[in-house]
Structure 1
């Protein structure tokens, strides 16, 4: 792995992660009805930091390989969808649209994981926790949508 390539992928992840600072959960989110299994607030930055490092490492491992176009396109798609969810959910309070974005993100992460795995087993393995976390996020978003059909605002 070339370290400058890792840094570039990590910068993309950090850029995606900054949406959490721009659009924090806030009072609207705290007031929503959420399931008892909602992860505690402290876990989110820990999980995302770990996931972003793994995602950057996976991308960097494959970036310099031959025949990586599909994997790199899927990596770009998943980070774009990752970046999009926070402003939609926390910024616009659009729970239903957030669910659609998360569904697309789950598909993009799963496809990216497979594409990475075919080129480099370790890169594919590095995406497994990400797919697990996005699965939890999908279940949480769906539960919040069911519990808050009006979304606290016009959902």
Structure 2
């Protein structure tokens, strides 16, 4: 029962936090006016993709916390979560793709570090972060191109 509560808590933290950050930092007219690369997906893609990823992030966080609340992997999980939640305000609210790049690169590195730290001890948590790493890698390229096209 404790693990179920832990799972609900972590999924609520990641998914709920992501939804709250997204709603309070909506893209708006500024984002619509930006030049974007041809590989920019339609806006409707982001919500469903992030929702699935946040559930996966929450599951991995709960599993990692249950194995060691003060472990290096858990510290990295919290670091990536803080960076994840910082990116949206940096990009959309501050309207600073350059600042968002300063956030997203360490975010990607922290995701990769989490994968490496959990790979041997909890392969499932590690694998749950692989799609997240792929998406944030794509988002990093997209962020860079938006910055480059609009600098």
- Structure 1 and Structure 2 fold alike (TM over 0.5): yes
2:24 to 22, 25, 34: 22
Q: Would you say the 8 A contact 2:68–2:74 is kept in 1?
A: no
Deviation at 1:80, TM superposition (A): 0.2
Give deviations 1:5-25, integer Å, cap 9, x for gaps.
111111221213311100100
RMSD between superposed Cα atoms in Å: 1.4
Q: Indicate the residue corresponding to 1:32 in structure 2.
A: 34
The 1:98/1:66 distance shift into structure 2, 3 A limit, reads: closer
Match of 2:7 in 1: 6
1:47 to 32, 49, 65: 49
Paired residues in the alignment total: 149
Note if contact 1:33-1:144 (Cα within 8 Å) is conserved in structure 2. Answer: yes
- Considering fraction of residues, name the structure with more helix: 2
Q: What residue ranges of structure 1 are gaps of 5+ in the alignment?
A: 150-155
- Whether contact under 8 Å (2:56, 2:129) holds in the other structure is yes
134, 137, 144: which is aligned to 1:135?
Answer: 137
Distance 2:73 2:50 in 1: 21
Q: Return structure 1 stretches of 4+ with deviation > 4 angstroms.
A: none
Q: Where do 5+ consecutive residues of structure 2 fail to align?
A: none
Aligned to 2:98: 96
Which secondary structure does the structure 1 equivalent of 2:129 belong to?
helix
Question: Counterparts of 1:134 and 1:86 in 2: how far apart (Å)?
Answer: 13
| CA contact 1:12–1:79 (8 Å) conserved in 2 | no
